Structure formats: C-alpha cells, structure tokens
C-alpha cells in the first residue's frame, strides 16, 4: 500500500504544488520508499510509495504523456497478470507495477466495469486530460480495506480533494467524508456511484433473497486457500500476524503450505532458495518478466505475535508457531507502554471508537517491531468474525434472519472498524497488511451460506457433532479445516477449536482494564458530568470513551473530522452488555468453566 493525495478543479495548479506536497508529506509514513508528484492542467496528484510489487520500476504517479493519462494508486491488484494478458498488448505497459493495468482498462471499458474487474484492495485517482474539462476518476475497493477520504472547500467550491488519510485534508477542507467502499466518483458527472453489487448484498430492498446455500465445507476451504495464495504476490520479505486464534492461525497454516510450494517450485526450476531481497538473483536489474518476481519469500515463513507477558494470545501463538514450523517472533509490552502510545495511535487511526483504539494499540506496537526486522508485508485475519458471525455476542441473535442481517451490516461497516485498524495501525510504520478473509470470491461463498449453519447458542459448549466437535462460533470454518491432507492437520485441535478472543482481550486482560483505570484517573467526575456540553454529538458514555474522544478532539478539532468517525455500540436490543469487550459476553466465561 501507499499514500495518495489529489486536488482537482484548480485554475493554476502549479501554484499549489508546494502546498500539495506538504499535505501529502503527512502521509509519508504510508510510503517511505519514494515520493512523486504530477501537475496537470487543472489537477495535482501526489504519491507516497511503499514498494511491494514492481519494486524496480513502479514509481507513481504513473504518467502516460502520449495518452494524456496519469494515475496514483494505494493498494494491490492481485489479478493484474490475468488482466494484462487479456487487455494489454505486449509492449503497452511500461513498468512491472501491478497497478499500471488500470490505465489500459480505462481506455477499453466504462469506469464501473473497470472497478468491478479489479481483484484486490485499492484506492486510486485517475486523471484523463484528453477531455475538456479534464476528467478525474476516484474509486475505493469493495469492502474498504484501503482508506480514502474526499474533501471540499467552501472557499474554493470548484475543487475536490482526495487523500488516503484525514490528516492530509483537515487544513484545506471544511467538509470531509470517508469515501464509501465499492463506489466510484466521476468528475464528469460530479456523482459517486456504487459499482460493487454482490449476490449477498440486499441493499435497501427488503424483498431481496437472503443467503440460502448449504455449507459446502470443501468449497469454503478451497476459497480461503485461494485467497491466501493470491496474496503472497510480493517481491519483498513477508510474514503473518499470529495471535494464536482461529483466524490468524488458519491464515498462517495455509501460508506455510503455500510458501513451501513456492520453495519446492524454485528448487525444481534450479534455484535453491527464494531471494530474500528484490534483485538478489538479477544483479540489481529488473527481472525479465514480473511473473518471476511475483511470489517470493524467505525460506521459512515468519510469524509475529504480541501481548502482555503470559497473555492468552502469546501462549496460543507460541503453540501454533511451533506446530507450523514458522520462524516466530514474540514481543511483549506493558500497560504503561500501551498507554503512552494511545495519543499516537489515535493520530494514525483518525477515530475515537473505543473498540478500535483498544485493539489498534498492540497492533501499532507490533507493526513497529515488524518493520524494524525488515518485513514490509504481512497477512492478517480480519473479517472472519463479521462474515461468519464469530463474535460471541452473535449467540444472542433471535433467529437466522437477524443473524445474517447482522453479518451483512458488520461486513458493510468493516471500513469503519477492523479494516481501518488493520490498515492504519500497520501503515503507520510503512507495513502493508493483506486480509484473505475479505477476498471477493471467498465472500461470495461464505456470505451466501444459510445463516442457520453459522448460528450457535449459549449451550454450544455442550452440543457436539457426530465427530465429537463442539458446535461453537465459526463451527463451519473450523470443521472445513478439521482434516489432515498429506498426513498433517492444518492446526492442533486446541488451536482449531479455541474459543474466540477479541484481539484487545487476547493480548492480556489487564490491557483493557488498565486503559479503563487510566481514564478514570485522568477524567474528573466534574468533566464527565458535563460530557453532553463538551461533546453534544455522539456523546461518550464512559470515562474511557471520554478520554479517547478528548485525545481525538485535540488532534482533529473540527466537526467535519469528528463526523468521519463511527463508534460501534453493542446490540443492546439483543441483551448485550454495553462494554464492547468479548469478556462482557456471558458465554465467554462459561466456556472456560470446568477447564
């Protein structure tokens, strides 16, 4: 991933070049490898690059002077080789970048079809200066894995701004919105329209069909394996975030198997090991074909975990890593170190949602350690709980229809929570996180499964299937990987069937308790009593929420900045506790009784 910044609708754009670069500089943590700027007839595109694919030749903005086109992209296009073969002539592309294929696609199809054809995570701004006036296209990936904001200024109503993060817009825009996932903006019409309409997306039509498919465990398993496989596209060292929970452990297990396949393929082709750096076996020159560099790795997959000393996640991750044979890196932090980091975490997150801040802080600390080792890309397990109803509070869903609707709602809002966390916590240190569970093809399989196969109840710990497996949360995912291909199981039984722990809980229960205690000590009773006066909109209901909101307000004081944040509130109508921690759900403790 990278950082992008754009201004469109400017009369004399050359006069704003310095200002645009200064705004983009606020995003440089996202792309520390290089910066590029293109000044057009009425526009400026700036790009902060994190080089993952096309390392030798993929600097942006990509500019086709002879065709009047320029492009700035944040993200990865996993199917770029297939698109290149189908839509591009042999000498049409100038670089090995996976993103460049967007330009010839634009010349051959409408913008909705262009965006729909891309398989990946992306936000991009494309400028076409062959039209009068010049045309600007901006788009965001279907689920919002990458971040994108759109801004306008009342003092310059003809201008429209785009940036990967809020902080690049706050000084120039008095109206800012989070650009909606699965949408595309066209300056020719001034409209933002939806291009992503999957079969499970009901939209506003209550009569649209709900998910009705049977749970085909083989299809589910193969779809996730394919999702991981395509995300190993990289020319730089990569690893996997391993909390020891089901989701990250499955991703790690699949990645280990795929990495071994890559290593064996290289041995068979006469290369004894995968290069550890781009250019290692090419004498510093660009490889002849991008296919040669598209999937490389270290000889052993590296895994990374973090937690308070002896936390549940550290212990489980250690066990999973030993079983999988990864090169495991374990880091610990103290509650005080986490508290010290919270102001910086909020600056990078650009939200005051309590759940997101709780979980992002250890991820932010871990990302710094990973980047120090030299890794630039990691796989992560976000999305599974939303897709499969894996959060413990889902046990309280009154019926399958409600269960499914909550899943759809949570997936639609991932860009405000877990996707935002995964993107910004890692990119704060120039580390890219890829999320296989949010693969479009996997979503088509998993979101169309009849919710009755996903549901679980308070008595799930006692209910067993014919093989003696507990029918707990995410049962169908666990069951799909409860096999031993080649004689070795994907995961140990204790990991595959481990109960859900939210990341902010799993790093150590005293982490959340410590944040609450700190907030209680710094937020006075008097200030909290006047919270409705201080924050009349989206008023915090706990001292922890007040403390986090106050830190956000200090760094982003405008109302338009606050309006971009979304606070998740537990389902009180399902009888859920007001605290978003998984430990607040009754079945969390019940599941451990008798152990």
Instruction: Write out pLDDT tens, residues 477-535.
Output: 999 999 999 899 999 999 999 987 765 567 878 999 999 999 999 999 999 999 999 99
93 part of a folded domain: yes
Q: What is the pLDDT of residue 54?
A: 75
**Do the beta carbons of residue 172 and residue 409 sit within 8 Å?**
no
Q: How far is CA 392 from the centre of its chain?
A: 22
Q: Sorting pLDDT into bands at 50, 70 and 90, what band is 185?
A: very high
Same domain, 153 and 238: no
**Do the beta carbons of residue 311 and residue 506 sit within 8 Å?**
yes
- Please give the residue range of the domain that contains residue 93: 3-194
Q: Could you say which of 154, 176, 194 is where a domain stops? A: 194
Same domain, 138 and 240: no
SS (H, E, C) 460-481: CCCCECCCCCECCCCHHHHHHC
What Rg, from alpha-carbon coordinates, does the chain have?
24
**CA 135 vs CA 42, 69, 130, 186: distances in Å:** 10, 10, 8, 7
The span from the CA of 486 to the CA of 468, in Å, is 23
Same domain, 190 and 236: no
**CA 568 vs CA 66, 72, 538: distances in Å:** 48, 32, 11
Residue 380 labeled ligand binder: yes
Give the ranges where 331-464 is alpha helix by DSSP (H).
335-349, 354-373, 384-388, 400-412, 418-427, 440-446
The span from the CA of 316 to the CA of 307, in Å, is 11
Same domain, 244 and 160: no
43 part of a folded domain: yes
The span from the CA of 585 to the CA of 564, in Å, is 29
**CA 561 vs CA 37, 425, 516, 548, 557: distances in Å:** 26, 19, 25, 15, 7
Using CA of residue 27, residue 29, residue 30, residue 32, what is the dihedral sign? Answer: positive
Same domain, 144 and 240: no
For the segment 202-226, what is each residue's pLDDT rounded down to a tens digit?
766 655 557 999 999 999 999 999 9
Token readout for 241 is: 């975030």
Say yes or no to pLDDT of 101 above 80.
Answer: yes
The span from the CA of 178 to the CA of 120, in Å, is 19
Minimal CA–CA distance to 521: which of 542, 545, 553, 543?
Answer: 543
Residue 579 labeled ligand binder: no
**CA 281 vs CA 134, 195, 286: distances in Å:** 43, 41, 10
480-483 own/partner pairs: CB under 8 Å, 24+ apart: 480/217, 480/218, 480/220, 480/221, 480/224, 481/221, 481/250, 481/253
Minimal CA–CA distance to 88: which of 76, 74, 100?
Answer: 100
Q: Could you say which of 481, 511, 541 is where a domain stops? A: 511
For residue 278, the domain's CATH number is: 3.40.50.620
The span from the CA of 540 to the CA of 537, in Å, is 9
**CA 44 vs CA 39, 72, 165, 300: distances in Å:** 5, 10, 17, 43
C-beta neighbour count of 520 within 10 angstroms? 15
92 part of a folded domain: yes
Same domain, 41 and 79: yes
Segment (H or E) for 108:
helix 102-108
The span from the CA of 88 to the CA of 107, in Å, is 11
Minimal CA–CA distance to 84: which of 69, 104, 67, 64?
Answer: 104
571 part of a folded domain: no
For residue 29, the domain's CATH number is: 3.60.20.10
170 part of a folded domain: yes
Residue 420 labeled ligand binder: no
Token readout for 79 is: 């199917």
Q: What is the pLDDT of residue 580?
A: 63
Give me the active site residues, please: 2
Q: What is the pLDDT of residue 338?
A: 97
Mean pLDDT of 465-488: 93
Predicted structure pTM score:
0.92
Minimal CA–CA distance to 429: which of 4, 33, 20, 5?
Answer: 33
Same domain, 129 and 21: yes
Structural domain tally of the chain?
2
**Do the beta carbons of residue 136 and residue 127 sit within 8 Å?**
yes
Task: Return the residue matching tokens 């790795």.
Answer: 297
The span from the CA of 44 to the CA of 50, in Å, is 20
Same domain, 231 and 188: no
* DSSP-derived secondary structure letter, 143: S
Same domain, 13 and 156: yes
Give the DSSP per-residue string, 86-107: HH--TT---S--SSTTHHHHHH
**Do the beta carbons of residue 200 and residue 443 sit within 8 Å?**
yes
Same domain, 178 and 235: no
Residue 127 labeled ligand binder: no
Q: What is the pLDDT of residue 95?
A: 86
237 part of a folded domain: yes
For the segment 237-291, what is each residue's pLDDT rounded down to a tens digit?
899 999 999 999 999 999 999 988 877 776 777 665 544 433 333 323 233 333 4
Same domain, 74 and 182: yes
C-beta neighbour count of 344 within 10 angstroms? 14
495 part of a folded domain: yes
The span from the CA of 255 to the CA of 35, in Å, is 32
With a pLDDT cut of 70, the percent of the chain lying above it is 89
Q: What is the pLDDT of residue 271?
A: 61
Say yes or no to pLDDT of 47 above 90.
Answer: yes
255 part of a folded domain: yes
Token readout for 193 is: 């329209």
Q: Could you say which of 173, 194, 215 is where a domain stops? A: 194
**Do the beta carbons of residue 50 and residue 33 sit within 8 Å?**
yes
Q: What is the pLDDT of residue 232?
A: 93
**Do the beta carbons of residue 138 and residue 182 sit within 8 Å?**
no
Average pLDDT in the chain: 89
For the segment 155-165, what is each residue's pLDDT rounded down to a tens digit?
999 999 999 99
Same domain, 237 and 182: no
Residue 4 labeled ligand binder: no
The CA-based angle 7-12-13, given to 5 degrees, is: 35
Q: What is the pLDDT of residue 93?
A: 84
The span from the CA of 121 to the CA of 113, in Å, is 16
Task: Return the residue matching tokens 């290692």.
Answer: 280
């Amino acid at each position: 991933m990278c950082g992008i910044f754009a201004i469109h609708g400017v009369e004399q754009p050359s006069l704003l070049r310095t200002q645009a670069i200064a705004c983009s500089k606020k995003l440089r943590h996202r792309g520390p490898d290089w910066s590029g700027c293109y000044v057009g007839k009425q526009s400026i595109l700036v790009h902060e690059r994190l080089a993952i694919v096309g390392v030798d030749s993929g600097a942006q903005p990509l500019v086709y002077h002879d065709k009047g086109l320029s492009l700035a992209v944040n993200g990865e296009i996993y199917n770029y080789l297939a698109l290149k073969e189908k839509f591009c002539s042999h000498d049409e592309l100038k670089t090995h970048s996976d993103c460049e294929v967007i330009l010839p696609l634009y010349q051959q199809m409408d913008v909705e079809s262009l965006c729909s054809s891309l398989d990946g995570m992306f936000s991009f701004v494309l400028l076409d200066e062959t039209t009068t006036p010049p045309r600007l296209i901006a788009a965001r990936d279907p689920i919002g894995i990458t971040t994108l904001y759109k801004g306008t200024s009342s003092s310059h109503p003809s201008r429209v701004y785009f940036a990967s993060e809020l902080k690049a817009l706050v000084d120039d825009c008095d109206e800012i919105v989070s650009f909606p996932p699965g949408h595309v903006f066209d300056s020719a019409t001034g409209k933002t329209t939806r291009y992503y309409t999957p079969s499970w997306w009901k939209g506003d039509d209550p009569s649209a069909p709900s998910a009705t498919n049977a749970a085909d465990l083989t299809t589910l398993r193969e779809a996730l394996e394919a999702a991981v496989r395509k995300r190993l596209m990289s020319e730089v060292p990569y690893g996997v975030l391993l909390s020891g929970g089901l989701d990250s452990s499955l991703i790690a297990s699949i990645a280990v198997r795929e990495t071994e396949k890559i290593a064996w393929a290289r041995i068979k082709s006469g290369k004894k090991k995968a290069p550890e750096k781009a250019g290692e076996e090419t004498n510093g020159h660009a490889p002849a074909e991008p296919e040669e560099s598209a999937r490389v790795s270290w000889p052993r997959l590296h895994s990374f975990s973090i937690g308070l000393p002896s936390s549940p996640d550290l212990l489980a991750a250690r066990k999973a890593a030993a079983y999988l044979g990864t090169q495991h890196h374990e880091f610990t932090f103290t509650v005080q170190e986490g508290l010290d980091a919270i102001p910086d975490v909020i600056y990078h997150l650009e939200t005051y949602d309590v759940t997101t801040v709780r979980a992002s802080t250890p991820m932010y600390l871990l990302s710094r350690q990973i980047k120090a080792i030299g890794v630039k890309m990691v796989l992560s397990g976000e999305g599974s709980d939303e897709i499969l109803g894996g959060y413990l509070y889902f046990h309280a869903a009154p019926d399958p229809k409600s269960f499914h609707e909550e899943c759809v709602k949570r997936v639609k809002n991932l860009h405000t929570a877990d996707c935002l966390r995964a993107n910004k916590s890692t990119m704060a240190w120039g580390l890219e996180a890829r999320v296989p569970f949010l693969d479009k093809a996997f979503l088509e399989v998993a979101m169309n499964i009849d919710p009755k196969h996903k549901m679980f109840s308070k008595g799930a710990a006692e209910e067993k299937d014919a093989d003696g497996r507990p029918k707990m949360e995410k049962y169908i995912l666990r069951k799909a990987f409860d096999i031993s291909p080649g004689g070795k199981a994907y995961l140990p039984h204790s990991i595959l069937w481990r109960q859900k722990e939210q990341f902010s809980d799993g790093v150590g229960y005293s982490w959340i308790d410590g944040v609450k205690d700190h907030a209680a000590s710094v937020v006075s009773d008097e200030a909290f009593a006047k919270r409705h006066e201080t924050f009349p909109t989206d008023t915090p209901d706990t001292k922890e929420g007040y403390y986090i909101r106050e830190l956000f307000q200090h760094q982003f004081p405008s109302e338009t900045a606050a309006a971009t944040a979304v606070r998740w509130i537990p389902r009180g109508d399902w009888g859920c506790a007001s605290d978003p921690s998984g430990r607040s759900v009754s079945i969390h403790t019940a599941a451990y009784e008798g152990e």
